[in-house]
């Protein structure tokens, strides 16, 4: 494995690392809103600038921040091309069969691509700077209102956090299994569709079995450490936001309001 899994937590001491998880998630949600509301070139420009600052302050490096974009580059290109060719069939530049690229299509394609990229970058910063358990505990506090509807928010948060903390381990395991099967002559690089389908089983079966085994052992260990679903656990108190956190909340909110009102 030459590359780390995308979005894996990387410990650090930057101001973004030190923000409380619930505030980070809250800011993330506001920013999501801002990205979805953005319509004009100036709106996007401001958001791109802001994302740049975010990457700078979090000290995670441009490469890490963009890693998810790189991984999904083909997805982005397909979305872009689809929008370009199919969005505005009324007055296309040219028409070749069902393909009708137009100015509207181009703009829509750019819109969507930029939105997806922004979302991925911001989401990545959140994941990379926040430890999984903290992240879910942050979610838990934000999910609290759902308790009114008797939804088991703690269990949901616990499942999410444990699942996330196992992602790197499972990635490593999947990588080892893949290598073991290649060494046994399995081929994952074949172009033929039939071969591709056949190559799935030697990977999927062992990976699932390994994941189940882990889940089994972990649930036993959690039980042995006194975890029970029928009783309230002690909870982390996040406390009041610090100065920087207020600044972050206010900045994000202003960004969102600006997108709605002006840009």
133 binds another protein (CB under 8 A): yes
**C-alpha torsion sign, points 16, 19, 20, 24:** negative
Closer to another protein by CB, 113 or 182: give it: 182
By CB under 8 A, what part of segment 72-111 binds another protein? none
Q: Which of these ranges, 80-88, 115-123, 174-182, 249-257, lies near another protein under the rule CB under 8 A? A: 174-182
Interface residue with another protein among 70, 233, 246, 254 (CB under 8 A) is 233
CA distance 111 to 8: 28
206 binds another protein (CB under 8 A): yes
- b/e code 79-118 from CB counts within 10 Å (16+ = b): ebeebbbbbbeeebeeeeeeebbbebbbebbebbbbbbbb
Residue 96: phi, psi to the nearest 5? -120, 105
Give the count of beta carbons closer than 10 Å to the beta carbon of residue 8: 15
201 binds another protein (CB under 8 A): yes
Smallest separation (angstroms) from another protein to the CB of 160: 12
194 binds another protein (CB under 8 A): no
187 binds another protein (CB under 8 A): yes
Q: Which of 81, 76, 127 is closest to 102 using CA atoms?
A: 81
234 binds another protein (CB under 8 A): yes
29 binds another protein (CB under 8 A): no
- DSSP string for 145-203: GGGGGT--HHHHHHHHHHHHHTHHHHHHHHHHHHHHHHHTT--S----HHHHHHHHHHH
CA distance 51 to 115: 12
Smallest separation (angstroms) from another protein to the CB of 238: 11
**Taking a C-beta distance cutoff of 8 angstroms, is the pair 173, 167 a contact?**
no
Closer to another protein by CB, 10 or 242: give it: 10
Interface residue with another protein among 50, 107, 113, 165 (CB under 8 A) is 165
Contacts of 152 (CB under 8 A, 6+ apart): 229
Count of residues in contact with another protein, rule CB under 8 A: 57
Per-residue interface string for the shown chain with another protein, residues 49-68, x marking contact by CB under 8 A: ------------x-xx----
Smallest separation (angstroms) from another protein to the CB of 63: 5
Q: Which of 235, 247, 258 is closest to 16 using CA atoms?
A: 247
Interface residue with another protein among 68, 101, 202, 263 (CB under 8 A) is 202
Closer to another protein by CB, 17 or 255: give it: 17
Positions that interact with another protein (CB under 8 A)? 1-4, 9-12, 61, 63-64, 131-134, 158, 161-162, 165, 168-169, 173, 176-177, 179-187, 201-202, 204-206, 209-210, 214, 217-218, 220-228, 233-237
């Amino acid at each position: 494995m030459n590359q780390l899994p995308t979005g894996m937590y990387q410990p650090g001491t930057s101001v973004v690392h030190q923000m409380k998880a619930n505030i980070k998630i809250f800011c993330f949600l506001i920013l999501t809103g801002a990205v979805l509301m953005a319509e004009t070139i100036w709106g996007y420009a401001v958001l791109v600038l802001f994302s740049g600052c975010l990457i700078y302050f979090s000290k995670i490096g441009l490469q890490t921040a963009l890693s998810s974009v790189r991984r999904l580059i083909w997805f982005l290109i397909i979305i872009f091309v689809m929008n370009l060719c199919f969005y505005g069939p009324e007055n296309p530049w040219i028409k070749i069969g069902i393909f009708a690229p137009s100015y509207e299509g181009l703009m829509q394609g750019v819109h969507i691509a930029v939105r997806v990229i922004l979302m991925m970058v911001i989401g990545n910063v959140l994941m990379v700077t926040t430890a999984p358990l903290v992240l879910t505990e942050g979610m838990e506090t934000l999910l609290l209102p759902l308790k009114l509807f008797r939804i088991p928010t703690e269990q949901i948060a616990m499942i999410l956090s444990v699942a996330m903390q196992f992602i790197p381990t499972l990635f490593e395991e999947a990588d080892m299994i893949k290598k073991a099967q290649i060494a046994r002559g399995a081929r994952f690089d074949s172009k033929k569709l039939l071969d591709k389908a056949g190559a799935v089983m030697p990977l999927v079966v062992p990976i699932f079995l390994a994941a189940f085994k882990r889940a089994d052992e972990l649930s036993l260990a959690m039980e042995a450490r006194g975890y029970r679903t029928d009783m309230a656990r002690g909870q982390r108190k996040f406390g009041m936001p610090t100065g920087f956190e207020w600044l972050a909340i206010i900045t994000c909110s202003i960004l969102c309001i600006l997108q709605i009102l002006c840009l």
